[in-house]
Amino acid sequence: MVYRIKQAGPEHIPGICQAHREAVLGIETGSYTAEELAAWAAAMRPEKMHRALAEKDMTLLVAVTGRTVAGFVFFSPGEVKALYVRPEHGRQGLGSRLLAAAEQACRQGGPPTLRLTASRNAVPFYAARGFRNVGQALFPLREGGVLDCVSMEKVLALSA
């Protein structure tokens, strides 16, 4: 499948929210309970993404195929805020491509270390791409609960 990775615009927000929801609800319940997944899936709101698009230091990239947002990455210098790929587009290297795009952008004048908070199911993905576990983290949910997560970081090599 052919994916184009590009800067997101307001027209991509419904697809971003849908990609987030599908990605979260596609996680097997071994990492989190069905209730935790439902609360997490409900956390992505269009107004949150509109605010993100307006923030000066935030970047939101989408991977599109046709008219479908297959995945996205949201980051600021030094921190990946979110990376999600729809389940039907998973395991095809798209998440790696989105992460690589974020890393490349962060090398251009950002801090030398890239940080993120990984859900338990995503830790192997990030570890395979050079991130290391630096401790536990909690991700707050809208309904007042929290998800147990892992803080991870990677020292970015300078581009040649």
Instruction: Kindly list the domain boundaries of the chain, sorted by start residue.
Output: 4-155
Kindly write down the DSSP assignment for every residue of 64-122, as one continuous string. EETTEEEEEEEEETTEEEEEEE-GGGTTSSHHHHHHHHHHHHHHTTS-SEEEEEEEGGG
The reply to whether CATH 3.30.870.10 applies to domain 4-155 is no
pTM of the model: 0.93
User: What does pLDDT average to over the chain?
Assistant: 92
Look at residue 159 and tell me whether its pLDDT is greater than 70: no
125 band by pLDDT with thresholds 50, 70 and 90: very high
| 4-53 confidence digits (pLDDT tens) | 999 999 999 999 999 999 999 999 878 899 989 999 998 888 998 899 88
Q: What is the pLDDT of residue 145?
A: 84
